[in-house]
Amino acid sequence: MTVAIVGAGAIGGLLGGHLARSGEDVILIARGAHLEAMQANGVTVRKGRDEFTAHPRCTDDMSAVAEADIIFITLKAHSIPGVAPRIGEALKDGACVVGAMNGIPWWYFPDRHLESVDPGGVIARSIPEQQVVGCVVYPAATIVAPGVVEHEEGDRFSLGEPDGAKTERLQKICTMLSAAGFKAPAQSRLRNEIWLKLLGNATLNPVSAVTRATLGEMFDSEASRALIRTLMEEVASVARSLDVELPVSIEKRMQGAAGVGEHKTSMLQDLEAHKALELDALLGAVIEIADWRGVAVPSLRTLYGLAKLAEAVALRGD
């Protein structure tokens, strides 16, 4: 199979490097100095003292998607609307698109779109629902130099059909990822897992952007723990309004996050790099759903406003 990875940054480079090393025909679609380095020297993946270099095809031409049987979208969620029409135009019949991004995905509701995720419904119009496979991404990785990806932790990509079916194409993708060294379970209730991850991403990431605290620092005091607990409880209440029951308690989720220690969230790293933040897909979408379902989320609204302000200041380069 030919695999295209749209947005081959840290996670996309990690994924593409492993798939290429396992023998898959891989096309990395990227840009800038990172693309130039991968074209010249391949993509290097490091984890601890181990590293390898793979040499997949690398391009900035979105039309390369036309060659692919499987397309992973590993862009930040707010970047997808801008490229979705070009992806849709290039898709061949029978190809499937794996949405491997954080937050509420554009395909979550088959009968409505979220403006915070898919403004005007452009993604849903561009990428046919029947060609979509869902994905929850757990690895953490960073581009430490152009063409070089540091794999920090995590090796799981959970996958599922939007309707929960166990299909042949889903199993093929899971088998391919497993052969590349990842854990890749096929899930029949992927939406529950989306919300479990969102429980942390919609709260800890924006808190880190506002306070510039590491995960460990967020749990240093009872006051900050109480705040995070309140935020997570509001996220969980929105999930319950959609008949989603989280498989892990809030206390256990907090314990897991605190155990990570002095780690900067990806949102904090983006803030420090003066990049746009992934706020809307992570937190804005939860608030939009809360408005629709009539769920009160006052603390999440306050956090969203503060994080938007932190983003605006950072983008000014002050």
Mark whether 10 and 89 lie in a shared domain. yes
Q: Would you state the structure tokens that stand for residue 193, as one six-digit string?
A: 């897992």
User: What pLDDT score does 48 carry?
Assistant: 92
Mark whether 169 and 244 lie in a shared domain. no
Residue 109 falls inside a structural domain: yes
Identify whether the C-beta of residue 209 lies closer than 8 Å to the C-beta of residue 271. Answer: yes
Identify whether the C-beta of residue 27 lies closer than 8 Å to the C-beta of residue 3. Answer: yes
Domain of 119: which CATH number?
3.40.50.720
**Whole-number Å distance between alpha carbons of 206 and 212:** 9
* Domain count along the chain: 2
Mark whether 29 and 169 lie in a shared domain. yes
On the 0-12 / 13-18 / 19+ scale of CB atoms within 10 A, 178 is middle
Residue 318 falls inside a structural domain: no
What is the per-residue pLDDT across 274-284, written as a single tens digit (0 to 9) for each? 999 999 999 99
User: What pLDDT score does 264 carry?
Assistant: 87
Q: What are the CB-based long-range contacts (under 8 Å, 24+) for 263-268?
A: 263/140, 263/152, 263/214, 263/215, 263/216, 264/208, 264/214, 264/215, 265/204, 265/205, 265/208, 265/209, 265/215, 266/140, 266/205, 267/205, 267/206, 267/208, 267/209, 268/205, 268/208, 268/209, 268/212, 268/214
User: What pLDDT score does 318 carry?
Assistant: 55
User: Domain boundary at 188, 216, 234, which?
Assistant: 188
Mark whether 136 and 28 lie in a shared domain. yes
What is the per-residue pLDDT across 55-90, written as a single tens digit (0 to 9) for each? 999 999 999 999 999 999 999 999 999 999 999 999
Residue 47 falls inside a structural domain: yes
Reduced to 3 states (helix: H, G, I; strand: E, B; else coil), residue 128 is: coil
Residue 54 falls inside a structural domain: yes
User: What pLDDT score does 143 carry?
Assistant: 93
Identify whether the C-beta of residue 26 lies closer than 8 Å to the C-beta of residue 19. Answer: yes
Residue 186 DSSP one-character state: B
Per annotation, catalytic residue among 47, 183, 197, 264: 197
CA-nearest of 21, 28, 75 to 47 is 21
Q: Is the pTM of this model over 0.85?
A: yes
**Beta strand ranges found along the chain (DSSP E):** 2-6, 25-29, 43-47, 50-54, 57-59, 70-73, 96-99, 132-137, 140-145, 148-153, 157-160
CA-nearest of 177, 95, 168, 94 to 135 is 177
pLDDT tens-place values along the chain, 318 residues long: 899 999 999 999 999 999 999 999 999 999 999 999 999 999 999 999 999 999 999 999 999 999 999 999 999 999 999 999 999 999 999 999 999 999 999 999 988 889 999 999 999 999 999 999 999 999 989 999 999 999 988 999 999 999 999 999 999 999 999 999 999 999 999 999 999 999 999 999 999 999 999 998 999 999 999 999 999 999 999 999 999 989 889 999 999 888 887 888 989 999 999 999 999 999 999 999 999 999 999 999 999 999 999 999 999 975
Q: Would you state the structure tokens that stand for residue 171, as one six-digit string?
A: 């199993």
Domain around 207? 193-313
Mark whether 255 and 109 lie in a shared domain. no
Lateral strand order in the sheet of 50-54:
50-54, 43-47, 148-153, 140-145
Identify whether the C-beta of residue 151 lies closer than 8 Å to the C-beta of residue 46. Answer: yes
In one letter, which amino acid is 162? P
Residue 171: how many CB atoms within 10 A of its CB? 13
Mark whether 240 and 291 lie in a shared domain. yes
DSSP string of 31-86?
A: -HHHHHHHHHH-EEEEETTEEEEE--EEES-GGGGGG-SEEEE-S-GGGHHHHHHH
Mark whether 74 and 110 lie in a shared domain. yes
197 is catalytic: yes
Mark whether 14 and 158 lie in a shared domain. yes
Mark whether 15 and 124 lie in a shared domain. yes
Mark whether 272 and 145 lie in a shared domain. no
Identify whether the C-beta of residue 91 lies closer than 8 Å to the C-beta of residue 123. Answer: no
User: What pLDDT score does 245 carry?
Assistant: 86
User: What pLDDT score does 262 carry?
Assistant: 82
